Homo-oligomer: A and B are copies of this chain.
Amino acid sequence: MNEKMNEHELFRKFLKSEGLRFTPERTIILEEAFSIHEHFEAEDLLFSIRQHGHRVSKATVYRTLALLVQCGLLREVIFGERHSHYEHVFGHKHHDHLICLKCGKIIEFSDETIERLQKSVCGQYRFEPVRHRLEIMGTCEDCARHRTQSKT
């Protein structure tokens, strides 16, 4: 059974095409990044790396995250905060986010309509879309019920 290309191969291919090297640190970071299945921040990733007994500097984590975004394995999501959040692109279909203003919960959803919308709007402006980001902020079901929740 011939497996489809995995994130290691993709990353390796990308690095080679850019004349960059595949180092143990980059491998560790890649693996840890793909073992986290929610949104994460650089700091979370570093923590997780250390938890698993690995040792990589913060600088290298930042440098490698940038590469992973650049090659399309991760995507940067900014939820109105000053620091970046990341999520997997590889192996996931495109989705957008509902963000609860009360508790900070993030719900992912996919909808075809937005793809069509993108096409029609861009047509009007002769704009060539590459990607989009839609965030809907509001109150989630739980917080609407217990009116007194505060941010985690």
Residues in B whose Cβ lies below 8 Å from that of A121: 98, 109, 111, 136
Q: Is A1 an interface residue (CB 8 A)?
A: no
User: Contact: A130 with B137, CB < 8 Å?
Assistant: yes
Query: Does A135 contact B138, Cβ atoms closer than 8 Å?
Result: no
A76 → B minimal CB distance (Å): 7
- Asked if B117 contacts A140 (CB within 8 A), the reply is no
Q: Which interface residue of A107, A121, A126, A130 has the most chain B CB atoms within 10 A? A: A121
A82 touches B80 (CB 8 A): no
Q: Contact at A127–B113, with CB atoms within 8 Å?
A: no
Q: Say whether, besides A117-B117, A136-B118, A101 and B130 are in contact (CB < 8 Å).
A: yes
Distance between Cα atoms of A138 and B121 in the complex (Å)? 12
Copies in the complex: 2
At the interface, is chain A mostly helix, strand, loop or mixed? Answer: mixed
Q: B134 contacts A133, CB within 8 Å? A: yes
Residues of B within 8 A of A48 (CB): none
Q: Which of A103-146 contact B (CB under 8 A)?
A: 107, 109, 111, 113-114, 116-118, 120-122, 124-141, 144
Task: Give the distance in Å from the alpha carbon of A147 to the alpha carbon of B4 in the complex.
Answer: 34
Q: Does A78 contact B (CB under 8 A)?
A: yes
Residues on the B chain within 8 Å of A132, using CB: 134-137
Are B137 and A125 in contact, CB atoms less than 8 angstroms apart?
A: no
A97 to B124, CA, bound (A): 13
On whether the beta carbons of B131 and A134 are closer than 8 Å, the reply is no
> How far is B133's CA from A132's CA once the two chains are assembled, in angstroms?
10
